[in-house]
């Protein structure tokens, strides 16, 4: 009987794609994956270690599964991911119940490690190899595609270069094959990810090649939406923006972490951007693509952040109108240059500033929602009742609750209150109609009838 493996993947989508590679290796080697940890013989914990909070979460999971093993409910524990790279073999001393550790550059050795061969922590290699095996861990209709790993930007607060090494791209041909395989397994939406997607190809071709890669990916018939995450603002070219404008498969959506707007803080962060360049970039984007959806992240409480710096950031957010925004308090990461900076901001002040910035963004969203009411948008269904527009990435952005005049077998009554909430006209017989019920992966035309925060509501046309 094959051994059953339960995989838990913590952290970002880039980590999830690593878990999918290991899942593919395991199934090819005869292991069986299970979504029920109580059925598992083996637990594979794919850890995150980007921030101290992520390290704590990863260690808590290791402790939890170690307890299960001690009580005879697991035979083996494997730990993979960023925490392995950060702590190396110290993990085995800290958690003796671990049977195997596998670093992020040795994903193809996971089966050997589980079979008791050895532990694998290998240095980063160039170029980044496309996976020979991959088992999807997301819903069939949407997928993440990692086009590069590592980072050369050296932001002063970030531990990623220490964990994942220098920037390494996958060859264009390999990415296209991988995307075709994802489309063949049902993916209609593909989100391209890397630490910095705009640097794609620099290491292999001597110049950025994201523009060329997107043109190749857009030729794959079954892919309907291509989404760009982790865009570095200063590397976003006008050619790339023009392609986004002209190619209907590329979502008018940019995930472009800015981190701050104060020049003093940006300099301490070792970011190339300035207040002037950021504002000019946003203006250029909106001039070329007026309906571009912009997502960004900001860090508050960075060492030396004054009230003046924060007020400038607050004013910038209030006046820019980002569609989606994430706010993080600065985390002092060992080994990073920022950890040694003076004037560390108290945790209570960091939290207060984060809450104030989130409140400002909430007011922005109220205005955006008002402008959406009455508009018809294309929605990719994530289930029979909820979906997303091209302006919302999976897992991190808003959703649309969809009510349809649909039935699966027989008419379904819709009450007066529900009809009123969704802007539906009364029906004489109270029936819901008879069009096919939507399912995950379907594209629907939806008229927006209401919204609360990042949850919109609408009816099918």
pLDDT tens sequence across 47-103? 999 999 999 999 999 999 999 999 999 999 999 999 999 988 789 899 999 999 999
What top-level class would CATH report for the domain 4-114? Answer: alpha beta
Domain chopping of the chain, boundaries: 4-114, 142-368, 376-460
Question: Mapping DSSP to helix (H, G, I), strand (E, B) and coil, where does residue 184 land?
Answer: helix
Pick the CATH number of 142-368 from 3.90.79.10, 3.40.50.620, 3.30.1360.40, 3.80.30.20: 3.80.30.20
Residue 405 banded pLDDT, cuts 50, 70, 90: low
Give Cα separations from 96 to 56, 66, 135 (angstroms).
17, 9, 29
Spatial contact of 111 and 26, defined as CB atoms under 8 Å apart = yes
Q: Are 282 and 321 in contact (CB under 8 A)?
A: no
CA atoms of 320 and 364, how far apart (whole Å): 9
Return the pLDDT at 435. 59
Given a cut of 90, whether residue 416 has pLDDT beyond it is no
Question: Is residue 3 scored above 60 in pLDDT?
Answer: yes
**Rounded to an integer, what distance in angstroms lies between the CA atom of residue 388 and that of residue 404?**
15
pLDDT computed for residue 308 by the predictor = 99
Whole-number mean pLDDT of the chain? Answer: 91
CA dihedral 111, 117, 121, 125 (to 10 degrees): -70
Fold for 376-460, please state it.
Answer: OB fold (Dihydrolipoamide Acetyltransferase, E2P) (2.40.50)
| pLDDT tens-digit series, residues 295-315 | 999 999 999 999 999 999 999
Q: What per-residue confidence (pLDDT) applies to 408?
A: 38
pLDDT of 336 above 80: yes
- Mean local confidence (pLDDT), 160-167: 92
State the Cα–Cα distance between residues 71 and 14, nearest whole angstrom.
33
Band (pLDDT 50/70/90 cuts) for residue 226 is very high
């Amino acid at each position: 009987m094959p051994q059953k493996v339960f995989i838990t993947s913590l952290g970002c989508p880039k980590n999830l794609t690593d878990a999918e590679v290991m899942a593919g290796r395991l199934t090819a080697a005869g292991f069986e994956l299970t979504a029920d940890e109580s059925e598992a013989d083996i637990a594979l914990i794919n850890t995150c270690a980007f921030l101290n909070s992520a390290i704590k979460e990863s260690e808590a999971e290791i402790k939890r599964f170690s307890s299960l093993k001690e009580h005879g409910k697991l035979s083996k524990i494997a730990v993979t991911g960023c925490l392995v790279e950060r702590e190396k073999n110290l993990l085995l001393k800290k958690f003796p119940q671990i049977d195997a550790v596998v670093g992020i550059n040795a994903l193809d050795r996971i089966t050997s490690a589980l079979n008791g061969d050895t532990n694998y922590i290998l240095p980063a290699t160039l170029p980044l190899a496309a996976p020979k095996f991959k088992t999807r861990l997301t819903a069939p209709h949407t997928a993440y595609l990692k086009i590069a790993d590592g980072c050369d930007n050296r932001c002063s607060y970030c531990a990623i270069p220490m964990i994942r090494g220098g920037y390494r791209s996958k060859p264009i041909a390999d990415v296209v094959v991988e995307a075709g395989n994802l489309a063949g397994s049902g993916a209609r939406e593909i989100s391209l990810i890397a630490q910095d997607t705009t640097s794609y190809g620099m290491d292999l071709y001597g110049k950025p090649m994201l523009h060329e890669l997107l043109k190749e990916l857009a030729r794959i018939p079954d892919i309907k939406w291509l989404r760009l995450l982790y865009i570095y603002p200063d590397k976003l070219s006008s050619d790339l923006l023009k392609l986004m404008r002209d190619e209907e498969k590329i979502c008018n959506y940019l995930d472009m972490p800015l981190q701050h707007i104060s020049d003093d803080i940006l300099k301490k962060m070792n970011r190339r951007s300035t207040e002037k360049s950021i504002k000019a970039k946003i203006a250029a984007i909106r001039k070329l693509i007026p309906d571009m959806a912009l997502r960004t992240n900001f860090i508050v409480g960075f060492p030396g952040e004054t009230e003046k710096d924060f007020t400038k950031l607050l004013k910038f957010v209030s006046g820019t109108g980002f569609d989606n925004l994430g706010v993080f308090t600065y985390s002092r990461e060992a080994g990073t240059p920022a950890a040694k900076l003076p004037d560390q901001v108290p945790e209570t002040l960091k939290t207060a500033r984060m809450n104030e910035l989130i409140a400002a963004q909430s007011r922005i969203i109220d205005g955006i929602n008002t402008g959406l009411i009455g508009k018809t948008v294309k929605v990719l269904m994530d289930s029979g009742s909820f979906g997303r527009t091209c302006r919302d990435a999976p897992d991190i952005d808003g959703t649309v609750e969809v009510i349809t005049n649909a039935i699966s077998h027989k008419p379904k009554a819709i009450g007066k209150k529900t009809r009123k909430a969704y802007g539906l006209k009364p029906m004489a017989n109270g029936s819901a109609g008879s069009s096919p019920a939507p399912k995950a992966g379907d594209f629907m035309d939806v008229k927006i009838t209401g919204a609360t925060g990042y949850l919109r509501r609408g009816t099918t046309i």
